[in-house]
Amino acid sequence: MTPIPHSGMDRRALLRTAALTSGAAVLGGSLGALGAGGASAETTDLAAQAAPELYWRGAWNARPPSSPIQVLASPPQYIVVHHTATANSTNYTLDHALNLSKSIQNYHMDSNGWIDTGQQLTISRGGFLMEGRDRTPEAIAARQHVVGTHVANNNSTCIGIENEGTYMTQGPTQALTNTLVDTLAWLCGAYGLNPGSAIRGHRDFNATACPGDVLYSMLPDLRNRVAQTMRAQGIPVAAEPATAEDGPTFPPVPDDEPDHEFYHGPLRGPDDFSR
């Protein structure tokens, strides 16, 4: 089987169909009037057209979730950058990327006991972008949020991107970095989020070394590149929040939690109703 991503007009048509089935109106070829996250119809449509090529779950032969996926009508407030804490592979092929997604799902379901892949999106070191948790592309198109399992006590407000590799002492490949910028720009446009306030590292939320010292130190530059990319693509950059926020919560690691350098956290907290 040769896996083919949804791309170009076919992919955008599928995303618009997803928006229709979720209740979002299509007017003049654009999505709705105002996005739930503050994105206008025109902005959301521009973001969809600028979306990077995405390999959906069928491309990597995903298993069905073991329980229903939860989809919130409200959009996420943050985009969380992770690393997979796996080897920094030099296999940059598509086959490797698809196998990576499959192995992540197997680990999350079989070892962690989660209902599906924890994160919504995954980027390989070869720069391939893949759907993680089921229904993610459709939710993004409809300005909704698929609840994942990747940030303890904050899964209802965070969409997560797993970046293949371990970035404590070295940085990601240029291919991965470029795709990450494009993906962040797509999500910020689709949800009407400001890159400066919305793009966070996992360690901003939980007691973890994720996404690695080097990748975390790259976040200020990534935020700037995302804003530049959005402007170059004609996608308006949302203003910073008018009022200061308290920022993400930082729940302590429970006493009975095993010591993990790259702590992701189990299902905990009143808003974490979906594994």
Domain regions of the chain by residue span: 8-232
Among 30-39, 44-53, 116-125, the range scoring the smallest mean pLDDT is 30-39
Token code pair at residue 80: 């969380």
Task: Tell me what the mean pLDDT of segment 90-103 comes to.
Answer: 98
Task: Tell me what the mean pLDDT of segment 17-28 comes to.
Answer: 34
Q: How confident is the model at residue 20 (pLDDT cuts 50, 70, 90)?
A: very low
Q: How confident is the model at residue 261 (pLDDT cuts 50, 70, 90)?
A: low
Instruction: Say if residues 274 and 147 touch (Cβ distance below 8 Å).
Output: yes
CATH value of 8-232 in 3.50.30.50, 3.40.80.10, 3.55.50.30, 3.40.50.510: 3.40.80.10
Q: How far is CA 244 from CA 64, 83, 206, 247, 267, in A?
A: 41, 28, 21, 8, 28
- Average pLDDT over all residues of the chain: 81
- What is the tens place of the pLDDT at every residue in 36-45? 345 666 666 7
Q: How confident is the model at residue 113 (pLDDT cuts 50, 70, 90)?
A: confident
Task: Tell me what the mean pLDDT of segment 73-97 comes to.
Answer: 96
Rounded to two decimals, what is the model's pTM?
A: 0.82
Q: What is the CA radius of gyration of the chain?
A: 17
Give percent of the chain with pLDDT exceeding 90. 62
Of 62, 54, 138, 51, which Cα lies nearest the Cα of 101? 62
pLDDT at 230: 96
> Residues in the chain, how many?
275
**Judging by beta carbons within 10 Å of its beta carbon (0-12, 13-18, 19+), is residue 238 exposed, middle or buried?**
buried
pLDDT at 252: 55
